[in-house]
């Protein structure tokens, strides 16, 4: 008879959170527990009428919708912290309206949340779904439900830090690029959610000197399809060209689409921008803050490549501060300039004015009419 091997999955708490993220992405509930306290939590994305009816049977009128402070402010209730709205009955349309629609106004009081509610919101952020969750207390018998995944609250709270420690090189190979024939792609696993990250080593940078580095967050629309709404594609290709012509460098291509909100939320934000919101107003309407990205793990990628001193190619002071905070020596920062045209000048001005990006727009073309 096979002997039971404890810890077969390695870090069991890390594994539980990864499984909980998958459950949230499919609008399936999880049980979050912290000592004697526990709640059932489910993300609102794809939460349909059938799922609401099933949850209603066990919630017994105790459910509530937990929203971020940004979302609450957008729908009529200024708050410095997240809040919860009572859901005597789980109504999919009401939940959708309160969580995402731009024209909605709050129809009930917003109550303070507890730590487990905050943990449920963090799961939603980790899963790249709408940052809004339905929670309700655990009632007798539900803990025996075989389909309900249990996850410790502390595992959620420590997940990002634990993930950062798992960062390792998974594969690497030369990949010649147009204009940069001597280029190597190095794929890292771990460090940020459950996604691979890529270091693009252009040329043969001298690691004994400060290395030209760019932290580039993936932008499907701009990098691949040449979207006119941003300057990301220009920055990506301009960075590779500058590195190829200037003695080499390292571009970290980070899977942090939409300032860490995920591609689905990014496209939702684009629709709101088409209705007149600026890029940050659109994100706030969906419940997000100014920027959800973390860059500390990027410093560890550089360290594993042998880099200790850098010249950072960026317009974003948060990236400079993050690398310094993670222990790298930043000896200089260099601007990363893309084209200015009517479709993106408002976007660039908003990043400069609201997020402090180091962007000069003197003489820029006028924005396109809405």
The catalytic residue positions are 291, 293
Which residues lie closer than 8 Å to 134 by C-beta, 6 or more apart? 41, 42, 44, 47, 55, 63, 64, 65, 66, 87, 90, 95
Q: Residue 250, Cβ neighbours under 10 Å: how many? A: 24
Smallest Cα–Cα separation from 146: which of 60, 248, 43, 29? Answer: 29
Smallest Cα–Cα separation from 358: which of 324, 313, 291, 326? Answer: 313
- Match 């399936």 to its residue by tokens: 28
Distance, CA of 133 to CA of 29 (rounded, Å): 10
What DSSP designation does 41 have?
A: E
Smallest Cα–Cα separation from 95: which of 22, 44, 131? Answer: 44
Question: Residue 169: beta bridge partners?
Answer: 188
Pairing, β 149-152 against β 132-137: unpaired
Distance, CA of 313 to CA of 319 (rounded, Å): 10
The first and second tokens of residue 253, run together, are 């291509």
Is there a contact between 139 and 107 (Cβ–Cβ < 8 Å)?
A: no
Distance, CA of 200 to CA of 202 (rounded, Å): 6
Distance, CA of 162 to CA of 125 (rounded, Å): 16
Which residues lie closer than 8 Å to 198 by C-beta, 6 or more apart? 185, 186, 187, 188, 252, 253
The first and second tokens of residue 314, run together, are 């960026």
Distance, CA of 173 to CA of 168 (rounded, Å): 15
What DSSP designation does 275 have?
A: T
> What backbone phi and psi angles, to 5 degrees, belong to 151?
-140, 130
């Amino acid at each position: 008879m096979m002997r039971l091997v404890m810890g077969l999955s390695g870090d069991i708490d890390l594994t539980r959170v990864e499984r909980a993220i998958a459950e949230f992405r499919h609008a399936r509930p999880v049980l979050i527990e912290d000592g004697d306290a526990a709640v059932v939590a489910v993300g609102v994305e794809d939460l349909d009428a059938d799922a609401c009816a099933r949850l209603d049977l066990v919630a017994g009128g105790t459910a509530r919708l937990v929203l971020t402070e940004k979302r609450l402010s957008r729908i009529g209730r200024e708050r410095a912290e997240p809040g919860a709205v009572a859901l005597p009955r789980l109504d999919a349309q009401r939940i959708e309206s309160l969580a995402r629609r731009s024209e909605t106004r709050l129809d009930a009081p917003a109550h303070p949340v507890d730590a487990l509610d905050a943990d449920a919101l963090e799961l939603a952020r980790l899963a790249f779904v709408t940052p809004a969750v339905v929670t309700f207390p655990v009632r007798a018998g539900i803990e025996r439900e075989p389909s309900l995944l249990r996850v410790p609250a502390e595992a959620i709270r420590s997940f990002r830090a634990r993930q950062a420690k798992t960062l390792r090189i998974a594969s690497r190979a030369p990949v010649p690029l147009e204009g940069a024939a001597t280029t190597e792609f190095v794929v890292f696993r771990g460090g940020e959610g459950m996604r691979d990250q890529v270091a693009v080593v252009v040329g043969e940078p001298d690691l004994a000197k400060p290395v030209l580095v760019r932290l580039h967050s993936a932008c499907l629309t701009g990098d691949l399809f040449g979207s006119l709404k941003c300057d990301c594609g220009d920055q990506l290709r301009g960075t590779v060209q500058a590195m190829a012509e200037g003695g080499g460098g390292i571009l970290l291509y980070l899977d942090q689409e939409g300032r860490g909100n995920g591609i689905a939320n990014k496209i939702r934000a684009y629709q709101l921008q088409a209705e007149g919101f600026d890029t940050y107003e659109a994100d706030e309407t969906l419940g997000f803050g100014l920027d959800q990205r973390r860059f500390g793990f990027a410093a560890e990628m550089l360290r594993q490549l042998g880099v200790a001193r850098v010249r950072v190619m960026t317009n974003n002071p948060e990236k400079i501060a993050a690398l310094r905070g993670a222990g790298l020596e930043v000896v200089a920062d260099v601007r990363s300039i893309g084209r200015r045209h009517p479709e993106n000048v408002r976007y660039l001005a908003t990043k400069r004015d609201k997020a402090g990006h180091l962007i000069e727009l003197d003489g820029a073309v006028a924005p396109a009419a809405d």
